[in-house]
């Protein structure tokens, strides 16, 4: 299975460790994994200009790093969102990438999705999980799991084992 991971962290610490563990588990199971670190890309927010659905035929008018992501979205069979929690939701960087998926409406062959969240505080996941559930519904994707961990559990072997297991079983 071809899996695309949108990683929304601008830092390479807790969320990155979770993604690497997920990737390792998925590759052990024979899956092909592409990690796109949207946290470090230059992706502007959607302009709501409708170019993509009128003149653009699914192509966004903006020429930024999102053009590197669209081909992966076109081919992936599973889509994984990974983000630290910033002010009760996923980072602005991953939010911009998610909203720009609008240009293609939804990944055409994807059937599954998963969510991995890290934070420094407990009880801050509801906004991100609610958004994720909305994405599942809109894109008609099967939820394969949500992992939400709080410091000091972010980098523990138990957490990383859960991420590897999610990768193996997606």
> How do residues 100-140 score in pLDDT, each as one tens digit?
999 999 899 999 999 999 998 888 999 999 999 999 999 99
pLDDT at 24 over 90: yes
**pLDDT band for position 155 (cuts 50, 70, 90):** confident
pTM: 0.95
- What's the whole-number mean pLDDT along residues 9-30? 95
In this prediction, residues 134-163 reach a mean pLDDT of: 92
pLDDT in the model for residue 67: 96
Q: Which pLDDT belongs to residue 121?
A: 87
pLDDT at position 114 = 96
Residue 35 forms beta bridges with which residues?
Answer: 5
Q: Which residues pair with 149 in a beta bridge?
A: 118
CATH architecture type of domain 2-169? 3-Layer(aba) Sandwich (3.40)
| Backbone torsion region of residue 3, taken as left when φ is above 0, otherwise alpha when ψ lies between -120 and 50, otherwise beta | beta
Q: How does the average pLDDT of the chain come out, rounded?
A: 95
Confidence of residue 154 (pLDDT cuts 50, 70, 90): confident
User: How is the chain split into domains, by residue range?
Assistant: 2-169
pLDDT score of 57 = 87
């Amino acid at each position: 299975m071809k899996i695309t991971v949108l990683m929304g962290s601008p830092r390479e610490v807790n969320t990155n460790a979770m993604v690497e563990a997920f990737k390792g588990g998925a590759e052990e199971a024979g899956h092909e994994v592409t990690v796109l670190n949207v946290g470090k890309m230059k992706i502007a927010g959607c302009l709501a200009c409708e170019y993509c659905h009128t003149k653009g035929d699914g192509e966004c008018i903006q020429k930024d790093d999102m053009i590197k992501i669209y081909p992966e979205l076109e081919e992936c069979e599973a889509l994984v969102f990974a983000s630290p929690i910033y002010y009760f939701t996923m980072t602005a960087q991953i939010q911009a990438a998610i909203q720009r998926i609008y240009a293609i409406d939804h990944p055409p062959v994807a059937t599954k999705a998963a969510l991995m969240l890290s934070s420094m505080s407990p009880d801050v996941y509801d906004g991100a999980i609610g958004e994720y559930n909305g994405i599942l519904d809109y894109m008609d994707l099967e939820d394969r799991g949500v992992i939400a961990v709080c410091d000091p559990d972010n980098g523990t072997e138990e957490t990383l084992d859960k991420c590897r297991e999610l990768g193996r079983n997606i």
